[in-house]
Amino acid sequence: MTHVLDLINFLKNREIYVGAAFKRVNFLRQDQEAKILEKLAGIPCCQYDDLEELKRFTAEHKFTLIHAHSHATFRSAAETAEHFKLPLIVTLHSVYAWNLAFGGPLRQANRIIAVGRAQAEAASRYQDKITIIENGIDLTRFVSDFNLLDQAPADGKINVLWYGRVDGPLARGIRKLDRSAAQLLPAVQIRALGSAGYPIRNIPQLGWTDDPVPYLQKSHITLATSRALREAMACGSVGILIGKGYGGVITEEYFNQDYPVLDAFPQYRLPRVSIDQINNDLMQLIKGDLSELRRQARAIAEQYFDLNLMGEKILAIYQEIAG
């Protein structure tokens, strides 16, 4: 949902008329739903139960393109696009059996956006219309605090954070960390921020917050995957990729690869999570200039993770298929 809100704000800033339609599903609490609607104030918005409601909304606001983000909307978006003879774009946010489950909407789509290589490969029948555009983040919200970057660690302890919302295979990293917490370097203080889909027992938990920025700014090093990794680095925390496997410290050199992986999905076959390797990486970071390394993390975010980079690429696709 954060991705969609970010894209909407980007389009609004480009003075592009944009609306949002959400299929009613029963996974949001009323307070969560209210927060989303509050963030959408100022643009046309509807929540629909059936296809006719979506068609009426589309006709009322004379939309000229439909971009579907949730698989819950793929079929209704495709039928509405077909009804009004509108271009259709579909974004694949997760790894799923797309070929089998949503062949109809994917065949109809003018273009398919995948947020990573694994998502693209999961829709292998449609490679000719897939473009990989990785998630961007709002660098005006996720910012570093340079006063904190230069502060000496309190009590001589390096603040290390595990951060994210994961479950299933992607929770393997935090499970390993939790089971082996006592083996981590005594020079570090580790805490967990987010939801692991797993009962964490040995690492102090900070729960979940709608404003993780202060925690990320205070963290010298953050272990995370996907969007959480990007957010942490934007806040000046040195990023370490962890999930189903272990990708190590994310440095500028990491991006010299043909396809630098920032998502620890099983499909990428990253090395197993090893506490010895984590300790070795932590030791190398602690021995280095941690303040400079944190500045480099922010610089990497500015170069590769900027929401505007993502938005411009998506906008180019809109313009291409809309003629």
Start-to-end CA distance of the chain, whole Å, equals 28
In a shared domain, residues 284 and 239: yes
Q: What is the CATH number of the domain that holds 172?
A: 3.40.50.2000
**Do 109 and 222 sit in the same domain of this protein?**
no
10 pLDDT exceeds 80?
yes
Q: How confident is the model at residue 27 (pLDDT cuts 50, 70, 90)?
A: low
3-class SS of residue 257: coil
Is the residue at 141 inside a domain?
A: no
Query: Hey, what are 98's tokens?
Result: 């797309």
Instruction: Tell whether 127 and 176 lie within a shared domain.
Output: no
Average pLDDT over residues 71-95: 96
Residues 176 and 297 in one domain: yes
In a domain, 221, yes or no: yes
Q: Are residues 158 and 59 located together in one domain of the fold?
A: no
C-alpha angle 92-265-121 in degrees, rounded to nearest 5: 45
Q: Give residue 152's pLDDT.
A: 67
Chain CA centroid to CA 296, Å: 20
Q: How much is the mean pLDDT over the chain?
A: 92
| C-alpha torsion angle, residues 73, 74, 77, 79 (rounded to 10) | -120
Question: What's the pLDDT score for residue 130?
Answer: 98
Residue 35 lies in a domain: yes
Question: Are residues 124 and 180 located together in one domain of the fold?
Answer: no
Check residue 32 and give its pLDDT: 65
- Tens of pLDDT, residues 153-181: 667 789 999 999 888 888 899 999 999 99
Euclidean distance between CA atoms 122 and 242, whole angstroms: 21
- pTM here is 0.91
Give the domain extent around 18.
Answer: 2-136+307-322
Report the domain count for the chain.
2
The pLDDT tens digits for 86-111 are 999 999 999 999 999 999 999 999 99
Express each pLDDT in 222-241 by its tens digit: 999 999 999 999 999 999 99
